[in-house]
Chain A
């Protein structure tokens, strides 16, 4: 047989085994109970789709054209009642603590009914992941407990991420680009906190969120090394909402403008500050900032892949139903061979999208991935079965201690190698553009198959197309994600390769 040393060497050749086969590496380590949890979550979501999403999807979309000022308060309330905002918050912070990787399947289910409403439920986790990736345990705990309390009281408390600016979009998601970007959201250090001036645009769910993870810069000339992530609460003096955008689709989910005018944020609401980050053995300051951003997108780009897969599925399901009940040229459309081939192609697109985001999720479950620690079996079962009061009594007080902060730092910051980061980030980018491309493609195919019937709003297919297009744009355009994939997993095999240096 092959000796261990040779084995390692062979497996380390491109394509490297550990970067290529995610599920087979991750599955043996996963807690068995996750299978049951996943099934329960899918059933829960299917019921939510039946009772809430499908009856409201087209009504909400049409209503938003009739009333351009529409905001989805009713939908947020429903998602809150059904527990969506705490489902995936770990019990460490008072949430329901379902395994984070399962959220992709839930997103796909929701999006197969309405990706706009899926965003109403899940943009919150983009905000949550940003809060989490700061590893500022006391503040994470404070914000999450408010989300949990919001669910209990029936007054929803959800989180948004504010990063895109009027003059900078794609480039704020990459530290390699941000120093050349036209950023303008300035956070000036003052005694006891920061004073923020500037604005953010296209902030999904901004108007209806309570907390906003705001990315601002304490030096606009060198933002990569002067990034601050601030937790800003709606109602804070100097913070207001501007317009919300008139979008082509996903109209259930507003894209808001956030305006900051001499807005004071106290030190205790600073999630992360690149100027005061402890030095790292593995990363420079700007790489530490990049790590935070990538921890977020390593999860959320997979989520967009799942949104896209859900859209692809919804479009396919509409086309299938239409083909089964419509006569074309004297026989049912479904009995035309070309239509069968087209439906098979659409089915394949769904599966392709799902495989990509699933592998991306498994990458995050491997060593150095954000899910890895929480999926460590003893910890997982402890958190699952220990009463919340026990966690609150014995674990939560440790968040304030230096030792706990050091431990978390060792696990998440020092514990993630650049190779780990590249694996997770590369797969997330791939899942994002595969899923969103499949989503748009299937919507186009469905409309070709449905002809004039597909054009009608009340049939739902045209809404899927309008909704789908945004998936190729947000969370980094699909072009940026292709470049990130190149940067993470392709360029390394050619030492002279340079990315973003054109």
Chain B
């Protein structure tokens, strides 16, 4: 829908759509077997080559300098086929956005400039948490002009494969927290095994233990929460776009199946209770398209209370996607529960994507806080 409102997005839509069809569709099930099967390195490398990993990154940092709507178009089309790559694009973009919020263009240019391949260009971050909500935090100590980080941090998405990670840490003796960029090849850093998770199997996370790791401060000390909130407000639209894609994928597979599968003498689409289920799904998909489109444009136009649209979009579409993908399996009955079809993966992925950016109920409370502040 975004591409019909903003014609210049058509090329991104075509790119993401054809990429998903060519590179993701055929091996969806095999790619989802990670960590018990191989990682889809070649797909990530191609995504990097065609620019999918730097949509909102400014051109001077090595990206393609587009707005949120381009990222949303990409995420929607990719996630309709395989949300794992969507999760990779999202996590990397979140890390970039936080660094940009902290004024770290040079830092990003440095990372991208030195990157020789997709993996070294990726920046990991704990994208399923809002650091200010949790108690676990790394500790940073300032020694002259450098910061030394120690401690353990859980569930750092992409850290098993990327070159760098953006991590929150508390500077000893200070309130709040700060973000630091760390090099994941440094000595003193231990990575756990890839975490086997509910969904997004090919967008893996690992736990990290840091002993005397040097970190580069992003922006100013103690301002991590501010940078996160700025990036978070924008990136909620991206969560909404992923959910919209997953919903579309689930609806399309359900619709196709319902026209082929016979029960009780005719195609199941002719049973009105099943058609009603499809009707609910169709409504939800259309609403999702509208919501993503408005949220992405609100982020770009930065009008009064723009972030409320973005936050509301992700909360609402995560709830809708959870419901829709449950029905998406139901339409296929037993087949929907099997890995031969894509529905069970979408069911897991939608619930997994809901966990991005922190606890879902806390995000709802944060929305009210934002409204009250706005008033």
A239-264 with Cβ < 8 A to chain B:
245-249, 255
B303 at the interface (CB under 8 A from A): no
Given A248-B339, A469-B347, check contact A456 B155 (CB 8 Å): yes
**Of B132, B264, B322, B326, the contact of A180 (CB 8 Å cutoff):** B264
Instruction: Indicate with 1 or 0, residue by residue over A181-215, a CB within 8 angstroms of chain B CB atoms.
Output: 11000000000000000000110000000000000
- Interface-side segment among A116-124, A167-175, A380-388: A167-175
Known: A177-B264, A182-B262, A457-B196. A451 touches B128 (CB 8 A): yes
B36 touches A66 (CB 8 A): yes
**Residues on A with beta carbons closer than 8 Å to the beta carbon of B326:** 440, 469, 472
Over the window 209-238 of chain B, the binary record of Cβ atoms lying under 8 Å from chain A Cβ atoms (1 yes, 0 no) is 000000000000000000000000000000
Q: Residue on A with the closest CB to B271?
A: A502
Give bound CA distance, A313 to B355, whole Å. Answer: 22
CB-CB < 8 A to A500: which residues of B?
A: 264
Smallest beta-carbon distance A217→chain B, Å? 15
CA distance A170 to B262 in the complex (A): 10
How far does the alpha carbon of A331 sit from the alpha carbon of B128 in the complex, in Å? 20
* A454 vs B197: C-alpha distance when bound (angstroms): 9
A201 to B338 Cα, complex, angstroms: 12
Which residues of A306-347 have CB atoms within 8 Å of chain B's CB atoms? 327-329, 338-339, 342
Contacts of B126 in A (CB 8 A): 452
Q: Which of A96-104, A272-280, A400-408, A477-485 contacts B (4 or more CB under 8 A)?
A: A477-485
Knowing A181-B263, A329-B133, A472-B330, the reply to whether A248 touches B196 (Cβ < 8 A) is: no
Contact B263 A170 (CB under 8 A): yes
Q: When A164-B334, A451-B360 are in contact, do A170 and B264 touch as well, CB less than 8 Å?
A: yes
Tell me the count of chain A residues lying within 8 A, CB to CB, of chain B.
55
Interface contacts (Cβ under 8 Å), in number, total: 141
For A451, give the chain B residue with the smallest CB separation. Answer: B359
Give the size range of B's interface with the partner: 35 or more
A62 proximal to B (CB < 8 A): yes
Q: Which residue of A lies closest to B323 (CB)?
A: A444
Q: Does B173 contact A (CB under 8 A)?
A: no
Contact with A along B33-48 (1 / 0, CB 8 A): 1001000000000000
Q: Which residues of A contact B154 (CB under 8 A)?
A: 452-453
Determine if A73 is an interface residue (Cβ-Cβ < 8 Å). no
> Complex Cα distance A479/B330, Å?
9
Contacts of B196 in A (CB 8 A): 62, 65, 456-458
B248 at the A interface (CB under 8 A): no
Interface flag for A448 (CB, 8 Å) = yes
Q: How many Å lie between the Cα of A479 and that of B196 in the bound state?
A: 33
Of the candidates A453, A473, A502, which one forms a contact with B330 in the assembled complex, judged by CB atoms under 8 Å apart?
A473
Flag whether A22 is at the interface (Cβ < 8 A): no
- Bitwise, A142-170 to B at CB < 8 A (1) or not (0) is 00000000000000000000001001111
B272 within 8 A of A: yes
Q: Closest approach, in angstroms, between the C-beta of A212 and any C-beta of chain B? A: 18
Q: Contact: A180 with B355, CB < 8 Å?
A: no
**Binary per-residue interface labels of chain B (335-375) against chain A in the complex, 1 for a CB within 8 Å, 0 otherwise:** 01111100010011001101100111110010000000000
B198 interface contact, C-beta 8 A:
yes
Contacts of B197 in A (CB 8 A): 455-457, 462
Question: Nearest-CB distance from B54 to chain A (Å)?
Answer: 25
State whether the Cβ of A474 lies closer than 8 Å to any Cβ in chain B. yes
Given contacts A448-B361, A452-B355, A479-B274, contact A473 B334 (CB under 8 A): yes
Is A140 an interface residue when CB atoms closer than 8 A count as contact? Answer: no
Give the shortest distance, in Å, between B337 (CB) and chain A (any CB): 5
User: In the bound complex, do residue A452 and residue B198 qualify as a contact, i.e. CB atoms below 8 Å apart?
Assistant: no
Which residues of chain A are within 8 angstroms of B129 by Cβ–Cβ distance?
451-452
B337 touches A328 (CB 8 A): no
Q: A465 interface residue, CB < 8 Å from B?
A: yes
Interchain CB contact under 8 A, A169 and B355: no
A328 touches B133 (CB 8 A): yes
Interface residues of B in 135-159 (CB under 8 A from A): 135, 154-155
Residues of A within 8 A of B273 (CB): 479, 482-483
Please give 10 more A-B residue pairs, beta carbons under 8 A apart, in addition to A329-B133, A342-B361, A462-B198: A180-B265, A181-B264, A245-B338, A246-B339, A452-B355, A465-B351, A466-B198, A477-B333, A482-B273, A502-B270
A-B contact pairs, 9 of them (CB 8 A): A180-B266, A247-B337, A327-B135, A448-B354, A448-B361, A455-B352, A457-B195, A462-B198, A473-B329
Enumerate chain A interface residues (CB-CB to B < 8 A): 62, 65-66, 164, 167-171, 177, 180-182, 201-202, 245-249, 255, 327-329, 338-339, 342, 440, 444, 447-449, 451-458, 462, 465-466, 469-470, 472-474, 477-479, 482-483, 500, 502
B interface residues (Cβ-Cβ under 8 A, vs A): 33, 36, 126, 128-129, 132-135, 154-155, 195-199, 262-266, 270-274, 277, 322, 326, 329-330, 333-334, 336-340, 344, 347-348, 351-352, 354-355, 358-362, 365
